[in-house]
Chain A
Amino acid sequence: MSAFEDDLRAAVGRMRDVGRTWLRPLGEEADRLGRPIPPDHEFFTMLVREGVMRRGLTPGGSERRTVRNVVVGEEGAYWDRGALVTLPGPGLGGAPVRKMGTPEQRERFLAPFRSEDRPRWAAFAMTEPGAGSDVARIAMRADRDGDEWVLNGQKMYSSNSGRADWVVVFATVDPSAGRNGHRAFVVERDRPGFVFLRNEAKMGVRAYETSSFVLEDCRLPADNLLGGDAYYEGRANRGFGGAMETFNATRPIVAVHAVGIARSALDHARAFVDTEFPAHATRRRRRALERLVEIRRGIEQGRRLCIRAAELVDAGRPNALEASVAKLYCPPVALAAIRTAQDVVGDAGVRRDRFLEKLTRDVKMLDIGEGTQQIQRRVIARHIVGADVVR
């Protein structure tokens, strides 16, 4: 086994410990209460205090970073996909800073995450009430005023933005220019003009908040523009392109969360078969076992697709097609796995079991976030048919 694999296995083991002790119970509690895990929860302070994040719960090393995140992410989602997303760190906000930020910006915004004084989060805000899939329609305005930028508009469905130190906000300098007008900014939450609106009442993944906020004449120093002016010179669509590259890197990670969820459904059904269907109860046992085989096939195949897409990112090669294939494949496989597990558990599922029912709600989010299923189909269609025909 290579050193990389050793390291990865250790990280998965750490995630398993954290998952069993914290993610699963906290995720279930958040679901029951219908509110996110509070940012001042002892779980987060413990993670930081004991250096768990630093030692690499989601490993920090730069070698094959995406593959690591995929493998460890699956383990985290196995325990609870909602609670996993609350783990301190830059999260979805980190990718655009790494991809588009100048070296100074990377240092300025990401370095604090290495210190251990308190848990920190960042967030990503593209979606608006009027623009989700069709990001070219975003209406958040960015106007230059001397040395500053002034942002005005509303964002919604921004995950973890209620607890974030800063949020990467996509805005436009010219709404009529579509994607060519896009710019990405880091907006600190304590800036005047950052007005928190509300947490959305989600049907699943309730452990983290997904929120709306408004920027009202929110003034930012010029160097909060990711990449600085130079980044956009001569290539007006680089803001949009940066967002898309971000998705290519994060889609395999989000897709693999479905694999983790499917695995937890499988284990749930497996334990049930073992205790409730003794070997002589042949009809139901046999049928259950055949179904477990089917679920496993989906899990293993989904995992393969996610790792393939992640390997390409880490190798610096294009992966938009492969990322979309993984993202299209995995969530429905997970939903089918959960339904199958419910069939195995049967009648008891209604009366005693909230776990699988919760998974049916959690997993649906994965058909929507990071590009809906239709958007994945569109990406794939444009690759295989041609962007000149599929618009």
Chain B
Amino acid sequence: MHGVLSDELEELRRAAVAAAASCAAGTNGPPTEPVRAAYAALGTAGLLTDPDPVARLAAVVVLEVFGGAAAGAMLAVDQPGPACGALDAIPDAGLVARLRAAAARGEVIGVAVVEEPGDLVAWVPGTSVPAALVQLAPGVLTVAEAPALEATPAPAGAAEASGGVEVRVAGPRYRLEVDTFPARSVARLWVAALAVGVGAAALDYAVAYGRERVVFGQPVLAHQANAHDVAAVWARLDAARVAVRSAVTPWAMTQAYLEAMPAVLDAADWGVQLLGGHGYVDDHPAQRWYREAHLLRLLVGGADMAVDDLSDRVADECAASTDELAGWELGA
């Protein structure tokens, strides 16, 4: 069932909510380390690349929850999901095992960067990186491990909780010729799952606020104009959640990302707007979700690269005259 959770997954989701709440601090989000620990304890780290759709759905569900609670910190947690999409292509079994172990600890092991001239430089959220997978051009992936990486602190923009480092690959590296579309698609799924969590948290909070705060004689959300607008934004976010939860193929993952990001921006925008001036200040988390939504949409090359990827596939389809749309999935 698309996006509808089994009892087990619902239980996992509740456990994730409790785990995330245990590390929450203030309206600007918890710091990275407690989040990493709480997240790793749930056992879904690294599962985004698991071939089993149920395992992947479990990862998505937990990412949604942690996105809402701690997207800033999550930028430095379990980013391996994406990079691991290309692990199977690495010829060194020992390296693969080390990377997978780091992934299971919820560590960031890589980030994909495109069209970066000169030395290999990547911006990675977090404070250190055991390994980096750097994508230079479509189809070319570079893998390097910690000793070959120089990490220097970088301004983290809106991701205050996670900090960030700039990574230069200075030593030995693997250079792989692989189809990087699947790896990028998993990365997009990872971002979209976090983002859907951000949007949902923003809307939930704003709805609770809007039920209480009185303007012109009635609660903010008793004004139908607001209630209807919020309903429309909520419906779009719900649609995005279904897309994210049911994405199995790289194509569907990238589609889900494109579905999710604008919906999340709208949700985060309303998350601030419904609070009025109170949404603009640190007293409430609305401003954090707003900043996070804007940051998340820029990761993995943004919407443009996603559209480029999909148009390349459509171009292939056109050339081959295949009928992809005839296929349908039941989802996990």
Contact = CB atoms under 8 A, between A and B. Distances in A.
A364 B225 contact: no
Contact of B280 (A134, A203, A283, A374): A203
B51 interface: no
B136 to A, nearest CB: 12
Contacts of A118: none
B163 to A, nearest CB: 13
B177 interface: no
A280 interface: no
A368 B273 contact: yes
B158 A357 contact: yes
B158 to A, nearest CB: 6
A229 interface: no
B332 to A, nearest CB: 30
A203 B157 contact: no
A346 B273 CA distance: 27
Contact of B216 (A127, A134, A201, A377): A134
B237 to A, nearest CB: 18
Contacts of A65: none
B179 to A, nearest CB: 20
Interface string B189-228: 0000000000000000000000000111100000101100
A280 to B, nearest CB: 14
Interface string A119-156: 00000000100001110000000000000000000001
Contacts of A374: 223, 225-226, 273
Given A354-B157, A360-B294, A346 B277 contact: no
Interface stretch (B84-92, B242-250, B302-310): B302-310
Interface in B66-117: 113-115
B146 interface: no
A349 B302 contact: yes
B301 interface: yes
B155 A354 contact: yes
A335 B293 CA distance: 13
A141 B130 CA distance: 62
Count chain A CB atoms within 10 A of each CB in B123, B277, B305 and give the residue with the most: B277
Nearest to A391: B216
Contacts of B290: 203, 360-361, 364
A202 interface: yes
B294 A357 contact: yes
Count chain A CB atoms within 10 A of each CB in B123, B216, B269, B298 and give the residue with the most: B298
B282 interface: yes
A287 interface: yes
B272 interface: yes
A373 B216 CA distance: 15
Interface in A60-98: none
A284 interface: yes
A45 interface: no
A200 interface: yes
Interface string A283-325: 1100100000000000000000000000000000000000000
A351 B305 contact: no
A346 B287 contact: no
Contacts of B154: 351
Interface footprint category on B: 35 or more
Contacts of A387: none
A337 to B, nearest CB: 14
A350 interface: yes
Interface string A27-59: 000000000000000000000000000000000
B204 to A, nearest CB: 19
Interface in A359-382: 360-361, 364-365, 367-369, 372-374, 377
B178 interface: no
A203 B282 CA distance: 7
A200 B299 contact: no
A227 interface: no
Contact of A133 (B113, B114, B269, B276): B276
Interface in A154-208: 156-157, 200-204
Contacts of A343: 302-304
A382 to B, nearest CB: 12
A350 B216 contact: no
B184 to A, nearest CB: 12
A246 interface: no
Contacts of A353: 157
A342 interface: yes
Count chain A CB atoms within 10 A of each CB in B225, B226, B294, B299 and give the residue with the most: B294
Contacts of B294: 339, 342, 357, 360
Given A203-B291, A347-B114, A347-B302, A368 B276 contact: yes
B281 interface: yes
A346 B299 contact: no
Count chain A CB atoms within 10 A of each CB in B158, B279, B280, B297 and give the residue with the most: B280
A200 to B, nearest CB: 4
Contact of B281 (A127, A203, A360, A372): A203
27 contacts: A132-B277, A133-B215, A133-B216, A134-B215, A134-B217, A157-B277, A339-B294, A339-B297, A342-B297, A343-B302, A343-B303, A346-B301, A350-B123, A350-B157, A350-B298, A353-B157, A357-B157, A360-B291, A361-B287, A364-B269, A364-B272, A364-B280, A368-B273, A368-B280, A369-B277, A372-B276, A377-B225
Interface of A: 127, 132-134, 156-157, 200-204, 283-284, 287, 335, 339, 342-343, 346-347, 349-354, 357, 360-361, 364-365, 367-369, 372-374, 377, 391
Interface of B: 113-115, 122-123, 154-155, 157-158, 166, 214-217, 223, 225-226, 265, 269, 272-273, 276-277, 279-283, 287, 290-291, 294-295, 297-299, 301-305, 308
For the complex of A and B, 4 pairs with smallest distance between CB atoms: A351-B123, A201-B282, A203-B287, A350-B298
Given A134-B215, A350-B123, 8 more contacts: A134-B214, A343-B303, A347-B301, A351-B123, A364-B272, A364-B290, A372-B273, A374-B226
